[in-house]
Amino acid sequence: MQNIILQVGVTILLNSPTNFWPSLSGDGEGEGVEPYRLILLGDSCSGVPHHLHEQNFRALREALLRRRPHSRTLCYLGDHVSGYVADERELRLQWRHFIDREFSDFVSAFNRIFHIPGNHDVYSAASLSLYDQVLPQHHANVVARKGLNYAVRDGSALLVFLNTANPANHGHAMLDVAWLEQALAKGQDATIKLVFGHHPILPVNGYDLHPDWRIAPEDGDRAWAMMRVAGVKAYICSHIIAFDFRVRDGLAQLCTGGAGTEYGPGGAMPGDVEYRHFVEFDASATHIGYRVIDELGRCRERCTWPPSLLQPVEADVPLVPGSPVSVRALSVAAPDAAFRLAWSFRFARPLESPSALIVGRSHEGATPSFLIDFRADGEPLAVHVTPHPNRKEHSWVVPHTPYRQPLVVEVAALSGAGPGGIMARLEGGDWTSMTSASACGIEGIEWPAHWEVPLSSNRMPPSSYSIEMSVRPLGRLERW
């Protein structure tokens, strides 16, 4: 029998009221510096009087203005109007209605409004020309411009606004990677860099067809690598009727398509999960954070990234294969808390096909609500989440899990971050959201208070390794 050492640690880190969102400006590096704040809004496809989209956009606009926004700067991320009409006169009427009737309240409420076009705005040479006429982007401190792409320096922040709607291909996704590189170079010394484009780079809720739903992968990969090197904090997009947060190699993508468009199954993508919303967004030199507000003014999702503001409280319990461990703190504290679960796998020696299974249940005998299936033999590392005992299990995978020795894999699950909140990292590297077609994350799951490495399903002899589990509760989240 090979001598195998497998260590599995579960770390649960809960945000305390004092170190969640409002404290972005007061924790760690950059202490005392005000965060850079923006309101993010996108995808209304409006401009047509009495249309459902007009009503939706009005309701959201009123919710935003009632709330007294935390920032006087608004970014509108495209698909302002319904568009896709051949008659230029008709398109002009949509724009006039949108700008004069629907958007005018925002003009007085915000000091600055940045716009980028979506595919409903720019889908032909004529629609591009009209967009440029009706929404000219003249701002102070523009440091780079090409066509509808422009970049603005605002104090310590660099904001790069991309036109990702290709007028030569019905508004489908494109990205001028060379210009992005130039724009990032113009603001090299900025401490906060944000890039905006209408189309996602990373697939959202399983919408991965390109150039329909996202930037073509090779351009996206090049842009992503460039943004990581430049220290960009987030790529912010729209187009999918959803709110979505995810990370790849530590860099975040936020998608907000909640300004009123009804599209997709149930009116959103999908309608049984997603909802109309705007986003209150903060960025500091070290972190980003968001609150997603629906049309009734309720905060529905929130998160800070990276989660290094969390402070651990030590409490370790051994997890012996075949003996379930009760983790009461998790079940008590988790329903309204952000938390992180982390497992690490350490194998002392090369193995043919090391694998392990860790199961979390709400109570003994319950259907597993959280299951980690680890295989380091080229098969995907998989996390299976059952949102509710009666609902379908969703899966998240890391498609190619490299097998190195020793191998340390961590899996994190952040509530408030939706499906992108289930992520993994190898060897202490950067976090990447695991791949899934699910529109839900761990929110709403039956909280796994009982953890077990089952004897029956584990593929390694239980006598050849030891497992430790750490439980590190901190407190409850601030209520909104």
Q: Which amino acid is at 338?
A: A
> What minimum distance in Å lies between the beta carbon of 170 and Fe ion?
11
Please identify, using beta-carbon distances, which residue of 75 and 407 lies nearer to Fe ion: 75
Residue with tokens 């703190």: 329
Contact stretch for Fe ion (CB under 5 A) within 13-21, 31-39, 115-123, 374-382: 115-123
Least distance to Fe ion from the beta carbon of 97, Å? 19
Evaluate whether 338 touches 14 at the Cβ level (below 8 Å): yes
Please report how close the Cβ of residue 118 comes to Fe ion at its closest, in angstroms: 4
Name the token pair of 317: 């319990």
Q: H-helix or E-strand containing 217?
A: helix 217-230
- Residue nearer to Fe ion on the CB measure, 119 or 163: 119
Nearer CB in complex with Fe ion: 114/123: 123
CB neighbours of residue 125 within 10 Å: 10
Asked if 118 is part of the footprint of Fe ion (rule: CB under 5 A), the reply reads: yes
> Residue 428's CB: how many other CB atoms inside 10 A?
8
Check if the beta carbon of residue 143 is closer than 8 Å to that of residue 103.
no
Under the criterion CB under 5 A, does residue 9 sit at the interface with Fe ion?
no
* Minimum distance from residue 239 beta carbon to Fe ion (Å): 4
Residue closer to Fe ion, measured from CB, 118 or 420: 118
| Interface region with Fe ion, contact rule CB under 5 A, candidates 112-120, 216-224, 385-393, 468-476 | 112-120
**Residue 341 near residue 418, CB atoms below 8 Å:** no
- Number of residues lying near Fe ion (CB under 5 A): 4
Which lies closer to Fe ion via its Cβ, residue 119 or residue 344? 119
Residue 119 as a binder of Fe ion (CB under 5 A): the answer is yes
Question: With respect to Fe ion, which residue has the nearer C-beta, 79 or 219?
Answer: 79
User: What is the 8-class DSSP label of residue 405?
Assistant: S
Query: By the 8 A CB rule, do 358 and 372 touch?
Result: yes
The answer to whether 44 contacts Fe ion (rule: CB under 5 A) is no
Helices 217-230 and 177-186: crossing angle, nearest 10°? 10
Of all residues in the shown chain, the one whose CB is closest to Fe ion is 239
Rounded to the nearest whole angstrom, what is the least distance from the CB of residue 198 to Fe ion in the complex? 6
DSSP assigned state of 207: B
Nearer Cβ to Fe ion, position 53 or 239? Answer: 239
Nearer to Fe ion, 153 or 172 (CB): 172
Supply the minimum distance, in Å, between the C-beta of residue 9 and Fe ion.
43
Q: How many residues does the chain have?
A: 480
Question: Based on CB atoms, which residue is closest to Fe ion, 118 or 307?
Answer: 118
Q: Kindly state the helix (H) or strand (E) to which residue 185 belongs, with its residue range.
A: helix 177-186
Query: Binding segment for Fe ion among 28-36, 110-118, 329-337, 418-426 (CB under 5 A)?
Result: 110-118
Q: How far is the CB of 410 from Fe ion (least distance, A)?
A: 35
Report which of 299, 319, 332 is spatially closest to residue 453, judged by C-alpha positions: 319
Judged by CB under 5 A, the stretch of 113-121, 176-184, 225-233, 318-326 that binds Fe ion is 113-121
Q: Where does this chain touch Fe ion (CB under 5 A) — which range of 117-125, 179-187, 288-296, 463-471?
A: 117-125
Determine contact, residues 347/405, Cβ cutoff 8 Å.
yes
Q: How far is the CB of 60 from Fe ion (least distance, A)?
A: 17
Residue indicated by tokens 């509108």: 76
Interacting residues with Fe ion between 218 and 277 (CB under 5 A): 239
Q: Is residue 79 a contact residue for Fe ion (CB under 5 A)?
A: yes
Query: Do residues 397 and 382 touch, judged by C-beta distance below 8 A?
Result: yes
Q: Cα separation of 175 and 194, whole Å?
A: 15
Segment lying near Fe ion (by CB under 5 A), choices 66-74, 94-102, 111-119, 367-375: 111-119
CB of 369 to Fe ion, least distance (A): 35
Side-chain-side CA neighbours of 459 within 13 Å: the count stands at 12
Q: How far apart are CA 238 and CA 117, in angstroms?
A: 10
Nearest to 7 by CA among 473, 327, 277, 354: 354
Other beta carbons less than 10 A from residue 82's beta carbon: 21
Amino acid at 419: P
Span of 74-82, 95-103, 181-189, 371-379 interacting with Fe ion by CB under 5 A: 74-82
State the residues that interact with Fe ion by CB under 5 A. 79, 118-119, 239
